[in-house]
Structure 1
Amino acid sequence: MPEPREPADRTVRLLGFWVTPEDPSLPDPAGLVDPAWEESQRHWVADYLDHGQVAGSWMGVSRCRPCSYPNGSRDLTDGYYLWPEGLSHYVLDHSVRLPGEFLAHVEQRLDALEELERESSWWRRNATRT
């Protein structure tokens, strides 16, 4: 019998949603460009963003504000933050730096994954059951 999981009842923080005529209070990505942001750090952050779970899909494709690159039509999440699937493009191609709190979150999550103990007995017991 599977172990019960906690319900997903907490609020997620939005990240990477940009200013629109409907919501002028959102940030403009042009104001977050950091040309000095190390490329290696941008790559691991972008990779993390690309591997979020799909949280929703929308009709029509969003386009990058600076270059019109097609950025997809889905929202992704890690259960703590929610972002549009094209956010990694802003990070990689335009050096849009995300908040330090989010970068620390990504680093902590990646470190925790590396430190996981691997245990295979469950898989061995259950792989042959139908």
Structure 2
Amino acid sequence: MATVDLTLDTFEDIVTKEGIVLVDFWAEWCGPCKRFGPIFDQSSENHPDVVHAKVDTEANQDLAGQFGITAIPTLMAFRDGIMVYNRAGAMAGPDLQSLVTAVEGLDMDEVRKQVAEHSASEHAEG
């Protein structure tokens, strides 16, 4: 499956769907981004069931700002609309494969429980 380009208008529709969505925040001028790009593209071919999306931070500065992107490439993983991974830095192919496997193996009932507990504790403090 080819990668999908995301914008502010399409981001929410894509990442809130059921399943796994990997989002690569990148820019044309970024050397590490250019090295990571083919690895990300290969992962999209290896995992057609996983949406591989890209955000050009130059063309989508509002979206990059909304997520506090200060270093690129930054990779985020969403599962069933919940962000479960967020880290800056390029990855090697085996590391990206391990990430996909880890996200596939998540107990989403447990993740939702942790998100609810974290949200409740934030409201109690605030």
| TM-score, scaled relative to structure 2 | 0.29
Larger Rg: 1
Q: Which has the higher contact order (CA 8 A, sep 6+)?
A: 2
Bigger strand share: 2
| TM-score, scaled relative to structure 1 | 0.29
